[in-house]
Homo-oligomer: A and B are copies of this chain.
Amino acid sequence: MGLDDRKKQVLQAIVDDYVSTYEPVGSKALIERHNFTVSSATLRNEMAELERLGLIEKPHTSAGRIPSDKGYREYVDSLMHPDILTASEQQEISDRITDSVHEVTDLLKNATNALSESTGFVSLAMTPRLTGSFLTQLKMLMIEPGKALVVVVLSAGVVKDKVVRIPNFLTNEQIMQISSAVEKNLYGKPLDEITLITLASSVKEAEIPEALMNQVIYEAYVAIKQADKLDVYLEGEHKMLSLPDFSELGRARDLLGTLSHDGMVAGYVNEIEKSSEVVRSGDDTYMIRIGQEIALEGLEDCSFITTTYNIGDTLSGNIGVIGPKRMDYSKVISQVNFVRKKLNDEIKRLSE
């Protein structure tokens, strides 16, 4: 966008001021708070121009200007200067992430917590997408007659399990026989190549009546498929109620209503990931959606900052923040990225 330097300065000042005061900013206020070498009248002309360009707008005739979505976008893309977290901010986040960790899911939960607490907004993490991962173990454990636990172990050490019903009179040995046949034949198979058909053919040699076998196979299939389901950790919804941006009850309601739909948010984050307008700057990596760019009801006044964490070489998932579009972008981006790095480190450490 071909803005001359002064216009950039003005837009930047407007965004900065508006973010910190939540008051529409006018030409005089701008002069007072920043060292412009020109008069308010000149700024007024500049602001009129910025408005014509669609970067700022006024809530009503006699008010100051506020950034439009496009204005925020311009700000994020080329105006803001990066923020560096203080040592104590970093420490606080690190502490939260490393608190009583046993599994990757603990790390994810902790990271969600750290992000929500440090930003004061909503944060979310999703378990890694498992497309591309493959089966390394499949065990079945008899719980009691008619009931078994299917344990699915995937590459990168991801473990999922599920209690399933099986025919009552199947013995422990038969169950073990089935599961080890599956395991032997499907070892290394990518998750998306495992179907009812490949599963069934993997147990051909087992000496178990077909009808019984079918039920077990079906249950195992469901268990494997559900391993693919993404879990979502969402935290800090109620924090949005403290923000002036959502002091209108209707807005707050719409927002929380949509957020309470785990699947909806997760689906959307996945979509962002796919369309991948990834921003890289320094060792920061993130994706960002602002205001109306978010196609979710009730999130018109929000921005979405997400990033990608990795487990091993093959698995990755998303973690991010949902805050008001009137947020301190550079700060939140730093926080998200610090969490991403710390999370990656800890995941690595955990799998050593």
User: Interface residues, chain A, CB within 8 Å of chain B?
Assistant: 102-103, 136-137, 139, 141, 143-144, 147, 149, 151, 153, 157, 159, 161-165, 222, 235-238, 241-242, 247, 249, 252-253, 256-257, 259-260
Contact = CB atoms under 8 A, between A and B. Distances in A.
Contact of A256 (B102, B222, B241, B249): B241
A288 B165 CA distance: 37
Given A102-B162, A256-B237, A141 B139 contact: yes
Nearest to A261: B238
29 contacts: A102-B163, A102-B164, A102-B222, A103-B162, A136-B144, A137-B143, A139-B141, A141-B151, A143-B157, A143-B159, A144-B153, A147-B157, A149-B151, A149-B161, A161-B161, A235-B260, A237-B237, A237-B256, A237-B260, A238-B253, A238-B256, A238-B259, A241-B249, A241-B253, A241-B256, A242-B253, A249-B249, A249-B252, A252-B252
Contact of A163 (B103, B164, B249): B103
A143 B153 contact: yes
A8 B103 CA distance: 59
Best-surrounded residue of A143, A164, A252, A259 (most CB of chain B within 10 A): A143
A162 B161 CA distance: 10
A189 to B, nearest CB: 18
Q: How many copies does the complex hold?
A: 2
Contacts of A253: 238, 241-242
A153 B136 CA distance: 24
Contacts of A136: 144
Given A147-B157, A149-B153, A241-B256, 13 more contacts: A102-B162, A137-B141, A143-B153, A143-B157, A149-B161, A151-B151, A235-B260, A237-B256, A238-B256, A241-B249, A247-B249, A249-B252, A256-B256
Q: Which 7 A-B pairs have the closest CB atoms?
A: A238-B256, A241-B253, A103-B163, A238-B257, A238-B260, A143-B153, A159-B163
A153 B141 CA distance: 10
A143 B157 CA distance: 7
